[in-house]
Structure 1
């Protein structure tokens, strides 16, 4: 549960790298399969397709949890407000359930003004919750010192090979939900022997085991696939990992990122 009693489904459907003309069918399929949380971003270039998929599902808007993100080149107070309106128009929705700042871009020193714009969107009722993505503790501390609103969510790279324990601990201490992007390590974990052994014990796929680990660890996860069978597989998580299995997956953490380092990414964006 996010601030303001906003219920956020712990498992969502991510649409990164899904083309705009594919997103309508992919999102509609995911919703038909049972997903209610859809995660997109301005930078993905598929908000229009996502909006069409939401409409195609036929579900009432209030039954869905829609997330989008502000891209780096729109940071700043007024530009954030304008970018949000553009995203809202493409999504064809009156409101967004969660709006995230995609990257901190500390070299621009604009994320505080950007956050203040997000506060206005929250106060205006066009977003139900606001958060960040890829923010490190130092960035979160700056927001705490400069504004009165704690991010509801911090969406960061997280998978068995890379889990930022400092981010997890900071979020737990300050009431910030940690959400995993690339929760399956962009497929890099699917042949790992530790995970394949655990999957065999449960008669499940490695992807299912990793997603169950995320959920049991208290994180939100947003797997992506355009294959209907895998979309269905990723939401079928009605099994329990043992404490020993959870610990074994925790021990896989190498500290090596797949994606960019948030301290340096986007300096030229």
Structure 2
């Protein structure tokens, strides 16, 4: 499981492990054990968010993992509804307190619009205000790196035009069947590392017979193929699980997908997420 020892380097020279543990939909009372299990398996990258409602448990897991804090990379996200400076300042400090940590390795603006107006109105000014709060917390040493999530090119351009610190990361929905190739290329050209959340397509890709056949050809599981795909795109992969066996299996991705198969997976269009089709998940829609 050498992937657990591999890292990318952000534009500010902070290193981030290539494979992480996503904690979306892991209840707060289960999060600490999930983090301890992941760290025990060798994971060093743990991702949460204010919207997940499990920062307390994730922080407990980090503090009781038996591994030195500086060896772990902990990310969280500013709630998408916060589009003002004062609210962002308070929320950043709130995450630090809830996590019980002295610093956060990466904090992201969770989305360019509030969830109930996702891809709707213009919140550019609010995003710049929230970003200013992140920049100041970064300068103060509370946050080692800062970034965004679900930001499209125009959203990124708005931040870049008025920022003193360019986003280090853009965390996006990236999986075989949903590969925003142009947006990934734009991020790369601006020194922004892309992190792939839901690399297994909320689990629905397990039902895709073409992907299953390709996985069988490599002698791997569908999740392993999908995680490897996002890694070969040059992104951080953040599969979500609370199952220790799945954590171990997800890290067994030391194989190479051919360029031809990478193209096939990149061109795949599969965005039916079954019971998880309501997106964004926090919109209540």
Report how far residue 75 of structure 1 moved.
Answer: 2.7
State whether structure 2 residue 124 is matched by structure 1 residue 123.
Answer: no
Which residue number corresponds to residue 261 of structure 2?
A: 245
Alignment of 1:35-46 (within 5 A): 35-46=43-54
State whether structure 2 residue 48 is matched by structure 1 residue 32.
Answer: no
Alignment of 1:157-168 (within 5 A): 157-168=173-184
Match of 1:74 among 74, 82, 97: 82
Which residue number corresponds to residue 154 of structure 1?
A: 170
Match of 1:143 among 148, 159, 164: 159
Q: State the Cα RMSD in Å.
A: 1.9
Report how far residue 181 of structure 1 moved.
Answer: 1.3
Which residue number corresponds to residue 247 of structure 2?
A: 231
Which residue number corresponds to residue 203 of structure 2?
A: 187
Report how far residue 256 of structure 1 moved.
Answer: 7.2
Q: Is the 8 A contact 1:194 1:249 kept in 2?
A: no
Question: Which range is displaced more, 226-235 or 206-215?
Answer: 226-235
Structure 2 residue runs of 5 or longer lacking an equivalent are 1-8, 114-120
Report how far residue 226 of structure 1 moved.
Answer: 1.4
Residues in 2 aligned to 1:72 and 1:255: alpha-carbon distance in whole angstroms: 23
Residues in 1 aligned to 2:258 and 2:213: alpha-carbon distance in whole angstroms: 13
Q: Is the 8 A contact 1:70 1:80 kept in 2?
A: yes
Q: Is the 8 A contact 2:135 2:164 kept in 1?
A: no
Q: Is the 8 A contact 1:168 1:178 kept in 2?
A: yes
SS in 1 for 2:234: coil
Q: Is the 8 A contact 2:223 2:250 kept in 1?
A: yes
Question: Which range is displaced more, 252-261 or 48-57?
Answer: 252-261
User: Per-residue displacement from partner, 1:228-266 (whole Å, max 9, x unpaired)?
Assistant: 1111101111111111221111121357785647xxx97
Residues in 2 aligned to 1:255 and 1:162: alpha-carbon distance in whole angstroms: 7
Residues in 2 aligned to 1:17 and 1:30: alpha-carbon distance in whole angstroms: 16
> 4+ residue runs of structure 1 moved beyond 2 angstroms?
72-75, 106-109, 253-261
SS in 1 for 2:206: coil
Match of 2:101 among 93, 98, 102: 93
Counterparts in 2 of 1:191 and 1:260: CA distance versus 1, 3 Å: closer
User: Per-residue displacement from partner, 1:202-243 (whole Å, max 9, x unpaired)?
Assistant: 211000001001001101110011111111101111111111
Q: Is the 8 A contact 2:178 2:271 kept in 1?
A: yes
Q: TM-score, normalised by structure 2?
A: 0.88
SS in 1 for 2:144: strand
State whether structure 2 residue 91 is matched by structure 1 residue 83.
Answer: yes
Residues in 2 aligned to 1:178 and 1:68: alpha-carbon distance in whole angstroms: 15
Q: Is the 8 A contact 2:20 2:45 kept in 1?
A: yes
State whether structure 2 residue 21 is matched by structure 1 residue 13.
Answer: yes
Structure 1 residue runs of 5 or longer lacking an equivalent are none
Q: Is the 8 A contact 1:177 1:219 kept in 2?
A: yes
Which residue number corresponds to residue 71 of structure 2?
A: 63
User: Per-residue displacement from partner, 1:49-100 (whole Å, max 9, x unpaired)?
Assistant: 0011112211100000000000023331121111011111111110000000
State whether structure 2 residue 222 is matched by structure 1 residue 206.
Answer: yes
Residues in 2 aligned to 1:26 and 1:195: alpha-carbon distance in whole angstroms: 28
